[in-house]
């Protein structure tokens, strides 16, 4: 009985060893992805090997290594590891032509094989931006085109205006195993584009660490715009005042020209012109007028005006010992500003003080007009009422006297008319 049991156990053991050998003698490989120009490592393993040789061959079925023996003369292919259970080789400086199925063979009976696919990523070239004219003129329509070649798979192009992404139109064309990608960006140029950086960035799996990009900075020429900035809001006699002519244009409109009331500035020591600044060291009433700043470049001319009215200097009063019953509000002042037209400054009166009492007179006049209008309406209505109720009233004697030759006949006619009083009625409306 023990002999039979031992025999059965031995048979099961042999069967297990055979089964393990059959299942473990299959080569195991993995697909590999590598960037063009990089190094690819191909590894083939078996779990159980009874000293059977392993072999690697390329997509053209050329043997690369048979065990530790090199079969193909290619300096880029090297042996990394060769044992009874593993064969690893490396291919350096990989090209797109190296892409394909590589076969690992285990020389058993029959021969068992496994295939690994080597994927080679085409690295896109640095992008180029075309279509930029320098300088561009305000109002121009231009098209920026970004191009990159040699990508596999096709690269993605993205546009940025400074740091903000903008949308472009993408076009992909195949060129052999690689792709050429274009992206276009339409621009309507204005002065806000001057100095703006437009960047084209290439996104690709082969550029995960260092994306490629190209940048162009727009230079836009445009006509100047002028603004006058004043140092004080309410200029008063004896005060210092500075007017600055701020002009923005490209090319820069320099220098600027100052005039007063359409003519040259008065030749006074108190008025100093330094570049864009007009300075009054001590204001007085003779400085009242319209001051004009003009700037120009080859694209156009622009100007701005400032109406100067010099207010009286404040009078200092002795302090009062009695507090006022009501708070005293300061007189409102009129803010002076730049103008596009040429207002006329006359005399020494404040042009902005006109019409201070006009509101009261207008209110009184309006009330009087309403009272007169209501009175006239009442008179018209009363007159129409009296006209509609006007009538003629006759006595009995008068009724008979119309056709009688004498008084007696009239009385008789009147008495006769009483009989017909109910038949004849007069209505006066």
Mean pLDDT: which of 280-294, 332-346, 394-408 is highest? 280-294
| Residues 53-106: tens digit of each pLDDT | 899 999 999 999 999 999 998 999 999 999 888 999 999 999 999 999 999 999
| Residues 308-366: tens digit of each pLDDT | 999 988 875 545 544 444 444 444 333 333 333 333 333 334 444 434 444 566 788 88
Assign 108 a pLDDT band (cuts: 50, 70, 90).
confident
pLDDT at position 406: 58
Runs of H (alpha helix) within 228-323: none
Indicate the helix (H) or strand (E) that contains 241: strand 241-250
Annotated domain spans of the chain: 27-121, 125-218, 223-308
On the question of pLDDT at 114 being above 80, the answer is: yes
pLDDT at position 313: 85
| CATH hierarchy code of domain 125-218 | 2.60.40.10
Mean pLDDT of 145-173: 94
pLDDT at position 411: 53
On the question of pLDDT at 187 being above 80, the answer is: yes
| CA dihedral of 411, 412, 418, 424, whole degrees rounded to 10 | -90
* Domain pair 125-218 / 223-308, same fold: yes
The DSSP symbol for 214 reads E
Could you tell me whether strands 54-57 and 63-66 are parallel, antiparallel, or unpaired per DSSP bridges?
antiparallel
| Residues 160-179: tens digit of each pLDDT | 999 899 999 999 999 889 99
Architecture of domain 27-121: Sandwich (2.60)
pTM over 0.75: no
On the question of pLDDT at 281 being above 80, the answer is: yes
| CATH hierarchy code of domain 223-308 | 2.60.40.10
d(CA 239, CA 24): 103
Q: What is the mean pLDDT of the chain?
A: 80
| Residues 1-46: tens digit of each pLDDT | 444 544 554 454 444 444 444 445 789 999 999 999 999 999 999 9
The three-state secondary structure class of 396 is helix
Point out which residues pair with 247 in neighbouring strands: 226
d(CA 418, CA 422): 8
């Amino acid at each position: 009985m023990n002999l039979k049991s031992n025999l059965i156990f031995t048979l099961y053991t042999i069967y297990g060893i055979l089964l393990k050998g059959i299942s473990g003698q299959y080569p195991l490989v993995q697909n590999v992805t590598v960037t063009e120009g990089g190094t690819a490592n191909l590894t083939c393993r078996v779990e159980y090997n009874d000293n059977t040789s392993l072999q690697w061959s390329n997509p053209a079925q050329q043997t690369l290594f048979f065990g530790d023996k090199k079969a193909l003369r290619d300096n880029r292919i090297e042996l990394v590891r060769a044992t009874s259970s593993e064969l690893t080789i490396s291919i350096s400086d990989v090209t797109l032509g190296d892409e394909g199925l590589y076969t690992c063979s285990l020389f058993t009976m029959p021969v068992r094989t496994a295939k690994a696919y080597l994927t080679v990523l085409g690295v896109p070239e640095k992008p180029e931006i075309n279509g930029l004219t320098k300088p561009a003129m305000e109002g121009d329509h231009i098209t920026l085109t970004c191009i990159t070649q040699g990508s596999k798979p096709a690269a993605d192009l993205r546009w940025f205006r400074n740091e903000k992404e903008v949308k472009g139109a993408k076009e992909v064309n195949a060129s052999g195993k690689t792709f050429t990608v274009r992206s276009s960006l339409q621009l309507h140029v204005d002065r806000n584009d001057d100095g703006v950086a437009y960047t084209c960035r290439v996104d690709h799996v082969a550029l995960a660490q260092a994306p490629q990009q190209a940048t162009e900075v727009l230079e836009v020429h445009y006509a100047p715009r002028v603004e006058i900035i004043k140092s004080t809001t309410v200029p008063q006699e004896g005060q210092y005042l500075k007017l600055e002519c701020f002009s923005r244009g490209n090319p820069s409109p320099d220098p600027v020209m100052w005039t007063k009331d359409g003519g040259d500035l008065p030749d006074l020591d108190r008025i100093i012109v330094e570049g864009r600044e007009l300075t009054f060291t001590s204001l007085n009433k003779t400085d009242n007028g319209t001051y004009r700043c003009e700037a120009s470049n080859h694209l156009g001319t622009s100007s701005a005006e400032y109406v100067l009215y010099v207010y009286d200097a404040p009078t200092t009063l002795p302090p009062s010992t009695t507090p006022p019953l009501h708070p005293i509000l300061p007189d409102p002042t009129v803010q002076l500003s730049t103008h596009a037209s040429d207002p006329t400054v006359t005399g020494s009166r404040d042009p902005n003080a006109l019409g201070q009492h006009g509101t009261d007179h207008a209110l009184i006049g309006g009330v009087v007009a309403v009272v007169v209008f209501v009175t006239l309406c009442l008179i018209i209505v009363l007159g129409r009422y009296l006209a509609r109720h006007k009538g003629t009233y006759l006595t009995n004697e008068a009724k008979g006297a119309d056709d009688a030759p004498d008084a007696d006949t009239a009385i008789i006619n009147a008495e006769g008319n009483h009989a017909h009083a109910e038949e004849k009625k007069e209505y006066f409306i």
